[in-house]
């Protein structure tokens, strides 16, 4: 009796357990399948303004140094600023250009949406190297003093680059009371040719050259007189920077200059002459620069 009761009880217990197990499994199979959530990875942030082209190489000098162009903004109106066409003789114009580059690197949003701005810090890098001993960036303390201007003003072929452009070009031209070589033909020098090709590529609405040391802003012209846009550009920069505005440079005859060539192809261009060879006159030129950006931002 005991063993039969035990057997029945055991069987009953097994049956109950099987029923409970089946019910549990049925319950489990009716449960929704757990959803494993994949972490959402945010897409990389895309800047609204593309980064500056730091820098673009637009050509090379006689001694194969890079001619660099730094571009900011993406607007349809393109402005071009150029330093150092006279190399180490006007090294402060190069330092001024690099100071503007630093400013735009720090605040590229300062360029209005309608504008693109390009700065070529040194169109004559071989001449700059002669006075600084460095390629590209340099500090004021790198500048050697007491060098013969004639050895640091020209390119490595001994050509005055600002006499090598196609406006009234002649094989020889003038610098002060000196006769200087203007090359074998207009654009015979690689630096001038690189600038010509870059201008054709970007078609700037206005061009500003930084020079020293006449303490004035000069308009440009070739054979058709001063373009209306040139006069406006000159007056805008000169008024803001507090430089005298002068229609024509007449201290001595000049042929084959870059500004005159730009005028001959319909592009307004001015020459900004700093007051000395040693300073960049930052506040004045910043005011002139910003005024020009404001002028072209609202120009129709």
Confidence of residue 51 (pLDDT cuts 50, 70, 90): low
Q: In this prediction, what percent of the chain has a pLDDT beyond 90?
A: 77
What mean pLDDT is reported for the chain? 87
- What backbone torsions phi and psi does residue 219 show, to the nearest 5 degrees? -80, 170
Sorting pLDDT into bands at 50, 70 and 90, what band is 298?
Answer: confident
The class (CATH top level) of 53-298 is alpha beta
- Contact call for residues 221 and 260 (beta carbons, < 8 A): yes
What confidence tens digit (pLDDT) does each residue in 113-162 have? 999 999 999 999 999 999 999 999 999 999 999 999 989 999 999 999 99
- Where residue 44 falls among pLDDT bands split at 50, 70, 90? very low
User: Cα separation of 286 and 238, whole Å?
Assistant: 11
Can you tell me the mean pLDDT for 247-263? Answer: 93
Identify which has the larger pLDDT, 297 or 32: 297
Nearest to 262 by CA among 251, 250, 270: 270
- Check: pTM over 0.85? Answer yes or no: no
Q: Going along 29-65, which residue ranges are E strands? A: 53-60
Whether the per-residue pLDDT at 67 is higher than 70: the answer is yes
CA gap 49, 193 in Å, rounded: 31
Q: Is the pLDDT of residue 3 over 80?
A: no
- How is residue 176 annotated by DSSP? T
Got the DSSP string for 69-97?
A: EEEE---SEEEEEE--TTGGGGHHHHHHH
Share of the chain above pLDDT 70, in %: 82
Residue 77, beta-bridge partner list: 115
Assign 300 a pLDDT band (cuts: 50, 70, 90): low
What's the DSSP call for residue 46? P
Tell me what pLDDT residue 52 has.
55
pLDDT at 92 over 60: yes
* The pLDDT of residue 177: 87
The whole-angstrom separation of Cα 197 and Cα 298 is 28
Predicted pLDDT at 5: 40
Confidence at residue 104, expressed as pLDDT on a 0 to 100 scale: 96
Q: What is the arithmetic mean of pLDDT over 28-52? A: 47
What's the pLDDT score for residue 97?
A: 98
d(CA 101, CA 11): 92
Query: Residue 207 corresponds to which tokens in the numbers above?
Result: 């061009």
**Which residues, at least 6 apart from 75, have a Cβ–Cβ distance to it below 8 Å?**
111, 112, 113, 114, 115, 116
């Amino acid at each position: 009796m005991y063993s039969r009761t035990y057997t029945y009880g055991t069987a009953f217990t097994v049956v109950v357990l099987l029923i409970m197990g089946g019910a549990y499994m049925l319950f489990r199979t009716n449960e929704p399948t757990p959803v494993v959530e994949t972490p959402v990875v945010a897409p990389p942030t895309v800047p609204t303004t593309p980064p500056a082209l730091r820098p673009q190489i637009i050509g090379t000098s006689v001694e194969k140094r890079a001619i660099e162009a730094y571009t900011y903004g993406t607007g349809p109106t393109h402005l071009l600023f150029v330093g150092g066409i006279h190399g180490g003789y006007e090294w402060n114009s190069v330092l001024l250009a690099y100071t503007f580059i630093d400013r735009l690197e720090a605040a590229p949003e300062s360029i209005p949406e309608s504008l693109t701005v390009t700065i070529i810090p040194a169109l004559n890098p071989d001449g700059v190297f002669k006075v600084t001993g460095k390629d590209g960036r340099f500090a004021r303390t790198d500048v050697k003093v007491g060098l013969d201007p004639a050895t640091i003003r020209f390119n490595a072929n001994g050509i005055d680059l600002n006499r090598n452009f196609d406006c009234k070009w002649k094989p020889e031209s003038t610098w002060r009371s000196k006769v200087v070589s203007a090359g074998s033909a207009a654009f015979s020098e690689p630096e001038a040719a690189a600038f010509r090709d870059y201008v054709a590529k970007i078609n700037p609405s206005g061009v500003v050259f930084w020079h020293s040391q006449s303490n004035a802003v000069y308009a440009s012209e070739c054979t058709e007189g001063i373009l209306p846009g040139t006069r406006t550009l000159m007056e805008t920069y000169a008024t803001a920077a507090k430089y005298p505005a002068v229609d024509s440079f007449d201290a001595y005859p000049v042929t084959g200059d870059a500004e005159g060539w730009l005028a001959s192809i319909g592009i307004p261009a001015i020459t900004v002459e700093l007051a000395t060879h040693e300073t960049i006159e930052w506040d004045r030129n910043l005011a002139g620069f910003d005024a020009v950006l404001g002028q072209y931002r609202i120009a129709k």
